[in-house]
Structure 1
């Protein structure tokens, strides 16, 4: 979704409200108050709440990319997948907010086909790239040829989503999470 600078700023305000107050706390009125604008100004930027939600999804996807981890799959696929997963887990306030936002949209996806399609497309893009990396690692001999690259990609995503949700209500020290993630990734690649 192409956003104007005003829409981008308001979507970011709405995402901050979402992380702080949940989806019910995101209204034209609360976004306007938080942004220091009139309700009319917000409605001019977003003619409906669905348009505002779509802008929020767009901004979340644009800002949720994890920090560069070097060349994908290097120096080892196991190490890279472990670090990638740790980089997106809610182990600090910023990533916790991102996960709260993502969870809210995942819940909406069951009822809103457009949001569901956007999340499904994002998931497909990620799992396709991960499967390519697994295939490359099989070809290089790092991963056994008996490993199913598509299954690894789907299971890695399921692990990421499940562990991220779990850490929201049962936080654990990063060292303990790191050990579990490294073990899980090792098992996925066997």
Structure 2
């Protein structure tokens, strides 16, 4: 009996192959040939599910963003819920820590995402998706800061636009440092820097 191929599952498998190739060889190394080989498929099979090479990359960028977004969504639901016993300070820290490469999975995601966003600077086909994901991150940070202010956890005098930029720049910078210099940018150090910044917000 012939194997039934579910298109969504095949696209996801191809996307996973793209992530592995980009992690090793960057976006330029993720050709249709290398992606097909990584996925154990013929190039024709990859083309069957994607109209072009750029479509494969854009799909993978969005899938990566959704993967991270699902994890973050769990923390957002917990933070903005009605549980009176929640440690909101710890919940905020846990939420923003999802953006940092604190374990092998998140480190791989950070490597691949930085490769994509760097490539988007000179590849217009990737730019819109990179901008969308950046806007999502900034919007999420703003939402969390607004909620914290409304609940009295942050001073009313804070300029939320400035603080959102400062916090997003911190997360971007820590991620870049960890990817480029993992030997001396440890998860403990990343968390300490994040914790220090969040504490400064409350002073």
- Bucket of the pairwise TM-score, normalised by the shorter protein: 0.7 to 0.9
- d(CA) in 1 for partners of 2:49 and 2:146? 45
Residue 91 of structure 1 aligns to a residue whose secondary structure is coil
- Residues 150-174 of structure 1 deviation map (CA, whole Å, 9 limit, x = unaligned): 2222221111111001011222332
Name stretches of at least 5 consecutive residues in structure 1 with no aligned partner: none
The 5 A counterparts of 1:138-149 are: 138-149=149-160
RMSD: 2.1
- d(CA) in 2 for partners of 1:185 and 1:103? 24
- Classify 1:10/1:103 alpha carbon distance in 2 versus 1 (closer, same or farther; 3 Å): same
Q: Which residue of 2 aligns with 1:180?
A: 193
Q: Which residue of 1 aligns with 2:130?
A: 119
Contact persistence 1:60–1:98 (CA under 8 A): yes
- d(CA) in 1 for partners of 2:190 and 2:8? 39
Aligned residues: 187
Of 90-99 and 121-130, the range deviating more from structure 2: 121-130
1:57 equivalent among 56, 61, 67: 61
Query: 1:93 deviation in Å?
Result: 1.5
Query: 1:8 deviation in Å?
Result: 2.1
- Residues 129-148 of structure 1 deviation map (CA, whole Å, 9 limit, x = unaligned): 32233223223222111111
2:87 equivalent among 55, 72, 75: 75
Residue 71 of structure 1 aligns to a residue whose secondary structure is helix
Q: Which residue of 2 aligns with 1:106?
A: 117
Contact persistence 1:134–1:149 (CA under 8 A): yes
- Residues 13-62 of structure 1 deviation map (CA, whole Å, 9 limit, x = unaligned): 11111112222321111112122221221222223211111111121112
Name stretches of at least 5 consecutive residues in structure 2 with no aligned partner: 1-6, 81-85
- d(CA) in 1 for partners of 2:168 and 2:48? 38
- Classify 1:93/1:139 alpha carbon distance in 2 versus 1 (closer, same or farther; 3 Å): closer
TM norm structure 1:
0.86
